[in-house]
């Protein structure tokens, strides 16, 4: 799939799966000591997921990013500082 400035990502999943994993270029929001995992999780309710993660105290971006030609997305970090991205499907 096209992504931003000429980048692309690849989605992989077992046959019949509802949830693919997207392999994409590293993002800009990696925390020191953590790694950008390159893992993207797709959801059809990005706003709801963002709100739920924030309410539960997860380390998520303050706002959902909206770039021209790219689906809405936000980055979040696990307890070790590794970065993942949630993207609207």
Which residues share a beta bridge with 73?
Answer: 65, 87
Mean pLDDT computed over every residue of the chain: 85
pTM, rounded to two decimals: 0.68
Q: How far, in Å, CA of 31 to CA of 77, rounded?
A: 8
Comparing 66 with 20, the larger pLDDT belongs to 66
pLDDT at position 81 over 60: yes
The answer, yes or no, to whether residue 1 has pLDDT greater than 60, is: no
Closest CA to 29 of 72, 66, 55, 65: 65
Stretch (H or E) spanning 6: none
SS3 content of the chain, % helix, strand, coil (to 5): 10, 35, 55
More confident residue, 38 or 76: 76
Are the CB atoms for 58 and 51 separated by under 8 Å? no
| Segment among 31-40, 43-52, 64-73 with least mean pLDDT | 31-40
């Amino acid at each position: 799939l096209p992504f931003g400035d000429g980048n692309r990502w690849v989605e992989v999943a077992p046959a019949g799966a509802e949830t693919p994993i997207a392999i994409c270029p590293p993002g800009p929001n990696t925390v020191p000591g953590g790694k950008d995992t390159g893992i993207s999780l797709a959801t059809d309710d990005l706003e709801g997921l963002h709100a739920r993660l924030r309410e539960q105290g997860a380390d998520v971006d303050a706002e959902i990013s909206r770039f021209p030609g790219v689906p809405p997305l936000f980055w979040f970090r696990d307890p070790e500082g590794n970065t993942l991205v949630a993207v609207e499907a």
